[in-house]
């Protein structure tokens, strides 16, 4: 299993738009083949910074998601809301 962590920093006035997008797509992403779990976390000190943790059975499933029309649709709508470059890591439990 791998965990994909993505740090997302939004313009403060765009946070509500992002949350609406996340709620709209959460079920579709969670039910994508190979996705085990999807979580959205919010930084306690910087309210416009969010993290997504998605758990994937293996890296190939994450790759298929990143190549999918669903990802492209979500990403096109999300990236215009950023106020800083997103950061991402693929990690595994030790």
What is the pLDDT confidence band of residue 23, given thresholds at 50, 70 and 90? very high
| Number of domain units in the chain | 1
What is this structure's pTM? 0.94
E runs forming strands in the chain: 2-9, 35-42, 49-56, 87-91
CATH number at residue 31: 3.30.70.100
- pLDDT given at position 8: 98
Spell 57-86 as b/e; 16+ CB within 10 A means b: eeeebbeebeeeeebeebeeebeebeeeee
CA distance to 15, 39, 44, 94, per residue, from 75 (Å): 15, 17, 24, 30
**What are 32-84's pLDDT values in tens digits?**
999 999 999 999 999 999 999 999 999 999 999 999 999 999 999 999 999 99
Residue 5: band (very low, low, confident or very high) from pLDDT cuts 50, 70, 90 = very high
The residue range of the domain holding 68 is 2-91
């Amino acid at each position: 299993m791998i965990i994909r962590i993505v740090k997302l920093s939004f313009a403060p006035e765009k946070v509500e738009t992002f949350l609406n997008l996340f709620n709209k797509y959460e079920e579709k992403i969670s039910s994508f083949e190979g996705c085990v779990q999807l979580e959205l976390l919010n930084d306690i000190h910087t309210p416009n910074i969010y993290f997504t943790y998605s758990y994937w059975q293996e890296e190939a499933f994450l790759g298929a998601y990143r190549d999918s029309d669903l990802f492209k649709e979500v990403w096109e709508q999300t990236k215009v809301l950023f106020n800083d470059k997103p950061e991402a890591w693929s990690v595994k439990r030790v």
